Amino acid sequence: MPVVDPWGATFFPTARPTIMSTWNYRNKGFTLIELITVLALSVLVVAILLPLLGAQRNRSMFSISQHNLSALARAHSCYEIDWQGRQYTTVDDDLDLTSGNYCTALDQLGCHPPRILGSDPNGAVWGFWLGEWDCIAETSFSQCNNLAYMFPNQFSQKTYHYGTTRYIQFRAFNQYLDGRYYDRVFYAPEDDLVYSTIDASGAFDDPNQFVPNVGAEYQIAPSSYMLSAAAMYHPDVMRAPSRGGFQDPATLVNGFQSPPTSWCRYPELKSRMIEHGWLRNSPSPTHPVLVDEAIRDFVGERMPGDVQTGWFFNHGLTSSPLAMMYDGSVRRISVADAYVDDARVQLQTDGVDGLWSRDTPMGADGYFNQFSHDASPASGTSFHVLTTDGIRGREILSDHRPGRRRAGTGGGR
């Protein structure tokens, strides 16, 4: 009803609206379409995140390996300062006097200094000794066969996998780091079989210098990083074929003498240490045929059935292992680059010389090229291990990385 005020204005009052809910409260679940949509979105999110998480994990492990090699480079520098430029080796310089025969050397030259691993939680000292029981400690291993751990490497098929190149963790060197054989710095996280075995044992976190029987009884783990055997002998051991070729260090005067780092002609192109395994993007986690004897012996009975080990760094042209160079830098070396540069030198010398020695007792297969993923030994390379001219040689002719100076590309070695 209209309301008239005294001044004649007419008002029509607005009715107050009734507040009421328009929601129909009833319980209902997901429809099939909604459920499928949620599941599809979940799968999509997982599909996106998993590769990202995996890539992040891989980058982290890669960075750890880089850090390890940088720390090892500093340790090498400290060792050289203490030993007047000498490189780390575990072999007597004058072993050529007895044609490389340790047992004869023990008779003629006396007891060889032991290679100490370290003391265990009970205070016992572990190591490798050469000699009779009257000149070594009671806890030692005493046999001439221990020379397999003393030489830089072994040229015989049976003991290819052994030598100082694979075992840099001895006390003589690890004292320049944390002083422990099972320090993480010697092991790449992606070197899964060795790393996981040590990690499961707790040895990584054990404060003692050495922990015995981490793997198989009386066996020790090789490092994930391999020294260059060629650079640990006199340069004339891996002499270029055009100048006479390979010479046995046991018969070459000063063949076993550790060359000083000042002899390195191409410090930015000659590798000093390298990841021994093909740790990233290998064809399969384990090699279908080849077994790394050093790793097999270490894990031993801890592994059920036959021990399967991974590919080596030089087993594929798509492999790019991390390496420490003689200038102290850490970088990746493309196996394909090393292969192409070696082929280039062979072409320039009518097939006589190359960047790695094919005339050692290992033959044209070199360092297990016959087990390469790329079908034939001809597509393989043994750079780093058998570098022509040893410490005076190089793995690649120039730095192939984008933006880097391409020095030294002009012919020859």
Total Cβ atoms within 10 A of residue 3: 9
Q: Cβ distance 224 to 195 under 8 Å?
A: yes
Of 107-111, 239-243, 308-312, which one has max mean pLDDT? 239-243
Q: Which residue bears the tokens 């030993």?
A: 83
Mean pLDDT across 277-292? 92
159 versus 242: the higher-pLDDT residue is 242
Mean pLDDT across 155-163? 68
273 versus 299: the higher-pLDDT residue is 273
Mean pLDDT across 207-224? 93
Confidence bin at 98 (pLDDT 50/70/90): confident
Strand bridging mode 112-119 / 225-227: unpaired
What are the CA-CA distances from residue 377 to residues 316, 364, 366 (Å)? 11, 8, 9
Lowest mean pLDDT among 42-56, 229-243, 292-306: 42-56
Total Cβ atoms within 10 A of residue 43: 10
Of 12-21, 35-44, 134-143, which one has max mean pLDDT? 35-44
Q: How much is the pLDDT for 96?
A: 75
Q: How much is the pLDDT for 52?
A: 58
3 state SS of 8:
coil
Lowest mean pLDDT among 71-85, 97-111, 184-198, 232-246: 97-111
* Distance of alpha carbon 115 from alpha carbon 211, whole angstroms: 16
Confidence bin at 7 (pLDDT 50/70/90): very low
Q: Name, in order, each residue with C-beta under 8 angstroms of 13's C-beta and a sequence gap of 6 or more.
A: 3
Q: How much is the pLDDT for 143?
A: 62
3 state SS of 175:
coil
Helix and strand numbers (H, E) in the chain are 6, 9
- Return the percent helix, strand and coil in the chain, to nearest 5: 35, 10, 55
385 versus 295: the higher-pLDDT residue is 385
* Distance of alpha carbon 412 from alpha carbon 355, whole angstroms: 9
* Distance of alpha carbon 299 from alpha carbon 286, whole angstroms: 15
Mean pLDDT across 310-335? 96
**Is it the case that residue 101 has pLDDT exceeding 80?**
no
Q: How much is the pLDDT for 228?
A: 98
* Distance of alpha carbon 389 from alpha carbon 266, whole angstroms: 12
Confidence bin at 113 (pLDDT 50/70/90): confident
Q: How much is the pLDDT for 334?
A: 96
Among residues 249, 300, 273, the alpha carbon closest in space to that of 147 is found at 249
* Distance of alpha carbon 151 from alpha carbon 165, whole angstroms: 8
Confidence bin at 248 (pLDDT 50/70/90): very high
Q: Cβ distance 165 to 312 under 8 Å?
A: no
Mean pLDDT across 87-111? 74
pLDDT tens digits for 127-158?
887 765 445 544 444 466 676 678 898 887 65
Alpha helices per DSSP H over 187-273: 192-201
Mean pLDDT across 336-343? 95
**Is it the case that residue 222 has pLDDT exceeding 90?**
yes
Q: How much is the pLDDT for 296?
A: 85
Q: How much is the pLDDT for 93?
A: 82
Confidence bin at 299 (pLDDT 50/70/90): confident
Lowest mean pLDDT among 95-99, 250-254, 331-335: 95-99
Total Cβ atoms within 10 A of residue 222: 26
**Is it the case that residue 84 has pLDDT exceeding 60?**
yes
Mean pLDDT across 336-361? 96
